[in-house]
Chains A and B, each alone.
Chain A
Amino acid sequence: MTIPLPARIGLLVVLTTGFYTYVGQLVPQKEVQPPQETAIRADLTTADMVTVGRQIMEGKGLCFTCHTIGKSGVLRFPDLDGVASRAATREPGLSDVEYFAKSIYAPDSFIVPGFNPGMPVINKPPIGLTDQEILCVIAYLQTLGGTATVTLQTSHRYYTAPGAIPPAPPDEKAEPGEKLPLTLPPAQKGETPKAPAAGPTPGKKGEV
């Protein structure tokens, strides 16, 4: 009873591919869904923003691909543990919110000593968080060693378009406009915001 050669070779090929497929089944099986657009309602409280911010960091923001919380040893990226306690004093003249905003909108402008530049700009594709989403992330970051203070109305000077108005709350029907005062960012270089205040938000939801 000899097996014909082509059958033997066929068997070998099937067994080999089968073995590799089997190896492939042994590793953790994780399906990565495309990020969900987190709906940010205008009436989010700061506590809600913390929760949403955490979700964004875990999901769409991809933050935990690089950053860790509460890990020590040789790190490739700064650990975010207690980051809020350092943020306010990192750069002179920047409050903690502004420091966070700057690190997210212009990540290479300040590099934590001992690390290499490498963080992508978060408000541009491929990650492309909206301004509101970034505010939520900042809210969560503030809880790491501090207390969240930002609201959806908080303004800072690093919005998507320099000199543009800060994000209007996306759902203006839910709340009358005057209840959500639009805080203008500190005017930079004497520029005055040109966009009409009631115009579309700088948030790019759905566009990317």
Chain B
Amino acid sequence: MTARHIIGGCAAVLLTALGAATMGPTVVAVRAQGPDIGTQAQRDSGKTLYLKNCSQCHGDNGDGEGYATPHLFPKPRNFTSGKFKVRTTPNGALPTHQDLVNIIRRGMPYTSMPAWPGLSDGEVSDLAYFIKTFYPDFASAEAPKPMELPSAPASTQASIDLGKKLYVDTGCVKCHGNVGRGDGASAPTLMDEFGQPIRAANLTQSWTFRGGSTREDIFRTMTTGLNGTPMPSFTEALTVEQRWAITDYITSLSGSEGPNYRNLVVAKHVLDTIDMAKGAANFAAAPAARFPIIGQIMEPGREFHPPVTSVMVQAVYDEESIAFLVRWNDMRVDNTGTAGPMLPVPIEEEAAKPAAAPGAAAAAAADPFAETTTAEAPPSEFNDAVAIQIPSAIPTGARKPYFIFGDAQSPVDLWFFDLARKEPIQFTGRGSADLAENDTGDLTGTASYDQGEWSVIFKRPLRPSTGAAFVPGTFLPVAFSVWDGFSRERGNRRALTSWYSIYVEPEVVTSAAAPMIRTALIILVFELVVVGLVRRRYGAGARGALGGEPSHPAATRA
């Protein structure tokens, strides 16, 4: 009875919630007649909120020139330009009120625009009304009408295949690259309409999409384009079905909905000797762990917005050595300059514009689809590089070296690989200002670049001549650094992870089968013995005493 009531109640609540949810947009649609700029009181309230929460980045005047702007990339939106990226309205049009509300609510992943879950619906709406005051057209024109976004057909293998073909034919590859890693030929030269460099989205990491990663979001972006960026609207070039097909293809590229960051990489034992010539094939058996990468913003020479957001790591070991495969996406190979973990970074550079090909890309920005790229981005001054960091000695207890190149008491071993060279070299780090080359010759490695992805293999003996040994069955802290030469990363200006762990899985992982069977059999035999004894004693054939006390005959129950 009670259960039924509870279920009923739940259902009622759910239905009400659903009803409310479906009614919401209807209300907005009804209101979208005439300029939708709210009341003075709403705008005033919005202004207060804006000055407290938004002006640090977007500027007091809405021009995108706040305190934080020099360090941010992408740059904060300039509201006075009237160009808004994520909309439901046609290309070039202003966003609807709901579009603004949505973006404040949800934020933009992997940018400095956060979500604002703490603000009430009314406050977010007031903010949106205030933002509209920065661009006069909001007040003068009719409220923009959203485009019709048809509902999604089911994704099929056929639609994905079609999408893949269209992806190439339509020219998506030019910026987004052949397999969508944002490594297209013109990617390094892209500029937005504000003259800022801009990167093509990495379509294999849907969780980083600024406008959201659902199929509807992707479809909408292709339909409406992103105002102010080289991303155009494809309403004319492609039919609705074709756009859905590309959407399906893009969705299929990521493989998972989220990044699934891990805090541990498991090194598997392999029977075959690790052969560097075999490359990534050595790692077929090892599970991949994705670690989040953040900018090095702790030591001077900071990198506030590294282009790499994550690394994928796998590890295997054989009788002699352990090998790591580190993979990450990079839109271009940079191997024409220098690289090093100690290269100086002038402090002024922190606030400089992110890497751009100076004066190169105006043309490209105008037409990213041009057959020949007018201006090739100039070669980089710095090389791509990667490093694996482990403590120089196995840490005892909680104490680990400082995660940025160690500290004076606890040094780290840095396996540094300048990707313009053949082999990695080893450094010993006692702090980011105290690195010394300490190559024992133990370390070998190979690197390859394919379709916007670096695959770098490091190999080292399990028990090296000096340094921490990898012992099966134990954990060891491990951290990674990545330098993107194109973004002028070198020295302290780099992307890194904090400490994670590597677990060297013992060679023989005991199978559960034997203990399971043993347990089951023991219990089964025990049960059978008990049942057998009970039947003998109390069964139909032997109706006897119940209690079995020698002293007094128990009552028998018939």
Contacts and interface: CB of A to CB of B under 8 A. Distances in A.
B548 to A, nearest CB: 10
Nearest to B399: A54
A182 interface: no
Contacts of A51: 409
A51 B409 CA distance: 9
A1 B537 CA distance: 10
Nearest to A50: B409
Nearest to B533: A1
Contacts of B409: 47, 51
A47 B409 CA distance: 8
Interface string B514-551: 00000000000000000001000000000000000000
Contacts of A1: 533
Of the four ranges (under 10, 10 to 19, 20 to 34, 35 or more), the interface on chain A belongs to under 10
Interface string B404-438: 00001100000000000000000000000000000
Interface in A45-68: 47, 51
A140 to B, nearest CB: 13
B63 to A, nearest CB: 48
Give the secondary structure class of B's interface.
Answer: loop
B39 to A, nearest CB: 52
Contacts of B408: 47
B326 to A, nearest CB: 33
Contacts of B533: 1
Contacts of A47: 408-409
Nearest to A55: B396
A57 to B, nearest CB: 13
Nearest to A47: B409
A96 B409 CA distance: 25
Nearest to A48: B409
Interface in A32-54: 47, 51
Interface string A1-42: 100000000000000000000000000000000000000000
A51 B533 CA distance: 66
A47 B408 CA distance: 10
A70 to B, nearest CB: 12
Interface string B44-71: 0000000000000000000000000000
B32 to A, nearest CB: 57
Interface in A145-190: none
Nearest to B409: A47
A51 B408 CA distance: 13
A47 B410 CA distance: 12
Interface in A100-138: none
A1 B532 CA distance: 12
A159 to B, nearest CB: 29
A20 to B, nearest CB: 21
Nearest to B532: A1
A1 B529 CA distance: 12
Interface in B372-430: 408-409
A51 B393 CA distance: 15
B516 to A, nearest CB: 21
A49 to B, nearest CB: 13
A1 B534 CA distance: 12
A55 B59 CA distance: 54
B409 to A, nearest CB: 7
A191 B359 CA distance: 85
A63 to B, nearest CB: 15
Nearest to B397: A58
A59 B434 CA distance: 33
A178 to B, nearest CB: 30
A47 B533 CA distance: 73
B130 to A, nearest CB: 46
A181 to B, nearest CB: 27
A51 B399 CA distance: 12
A1 B535 CA distance: 13
A148 to B, nearest CB: 12
B519 to A, nearest CB: 16
A27 B349 CA distance: 58
A51 B397 CA distance: 13
A1 B536 CA distance: 10
B551 to A, nearest CB: 15
A47 B430 CA distance: 15
A102 B113 CA distance: 57
B50 to A, nearest CB: 42
A71 to B, nearest CB: 15
A47 B407 CA distance: 13
A1 to B, nearest CB: 8
A86 B139 CA distance: 65
A186 B408 CA distance: 36
Interface in B277-301: none
Interface of A: 1, 47, 51
List 4 A-B pairs, minimum CB-CB distance, nearest first.
Answer: A47-B409, A51-B409, A47-B408, A1-B533
4 contacts: A1-B533, A47-B408, A47-B409, A51-B409
